[in-house]
Amino acid sequence: MDMNAVLQIVTRSDPGMVRSNNEDAVMANPQRGFAVLADGMGGYNAGEVASGMATALLGTELEKAFVAREPSSEDASGQSWARVTLRAEMARVNGAIYQAAQSQPQYAGMGTTLVVGVFHDNKVTVAHIGDSRLYRLRGEDFQQVTRDHSLLQEQIDSGLITPEQARHSQNKNLVTRAVGIDPEVEAEIHDHEVLPGDVYLFCSDGLNDMVEDEEIAMTLGALSANLELCAMQLIQMANDNGGRDNVSVILVKVKGEYPAARGWWARLMAWFK
């Protein structure tokens, strides 16, 4: 299914006000209905290399996989092709970045976060590693869809600190999971129901560290009719508040339903479940 008709997608990335280079990378494939955001880390330009590798490799491999098979089709274990592909390809990207970091001294220690969304069958399959986020605006309701793989989130979960204390912590960038740092890493993958009118925001921490969630929600609510303007405004707000990091956003607006095409046998099986 060509998702262009039901999804509007805008991507923006900016170095911010302090850093000279941009270690974030973004890509979207509106036709196949997926988006990828990566926030690289590492000395010199190594973070740039890691995030660039991650988005380029995933962009290519997901496209190939979803041309070959519908993301909603299931394998023998009942898992969707979207889930199977995301798990396999994110593991492969991790291996590629890890090998590059091991074999080339200038890339030693490089890594990246990843957040990926695949829109199919009136849902979105979300895979993430690290602290880049996905948010959703549905009507008046604004929610963070992903949970950070970070030291701060672990401290919040264990009751050591409150979310308010976390906002002012110095330990913002300590991730507990990243792509390319270890030989293996597991992506966290979940499916979420999608409704027409939903607006999804993928972002690097350069946005949510600089701009409060309430302000992000108000901006999305006010400007979601013009996604280009909305993306520019979110980046401007981060920069106005100091822009201490690179800031990247992907906005996805859902314009209609997109159920998977199913044959009579699949419909019959679904009816009996």
Q: pLDDT, tens digit, for every residue of 16-34?
A: 999 999 999 999 999 999 9
Query: Please, which pLDDT band fits residue 266 given cuts at 50, 70 and 90?
Result: low
Q: Which of 6-10, 161-165, 195-199, 222-226 has the lowest mean pLDDT?
A: 161-165
Number of neighbouring beta carbons within 10 Å of residue 95: 15
| Reported confidence tier of residue 7, pLDDT bands at 50, 70, 90 | very high
Tell me the one-letter amino acid at 127.
A
Res 170 pLDDT > 80: no
| Sign (positive or negative) of CA dihedral 178, 182, 183, 188 | negative
Whether residue 169 is predicted with pLDDT greater than 80 in this model: the reply is no
> Whole-angstrom Cα distance, residue 97 to residue 90?
11
Q: Domain total for the chain?
A: 1
- Please name every residue paired with 200 in a beta bridge, in sequence order, or none if there are none: 136, 252
**What is the predicted pLDDT for the residue at 273?**
44
Whole-model pTM: value is: 0.93
What is the domain extent for residue 172?
3-272
The pLDDT tens digits for 178-232 are 999 999 999 999 999 999 999 999 999 999 999 999 999 999 999 999 999 999 9
pLDDT for 42: 84
Taking residues 96-113, what's their average pLDDT?
Answer: 95
Cβ proximity of 129 and 210 under 8 Å: no
Res 44: pLDDT:
67
> Half-sphere exposure of 136 toward its Cβ, with a 13 Å CA cutoff?
16
With contact defined as beta carbons under 8 Å apart, do 48 and 74 qualify? no
Query: What's the CATH number where 239 sits?
Result: 3.60.40.10
262 pLDDT band, cuts 50/70/90, is: low
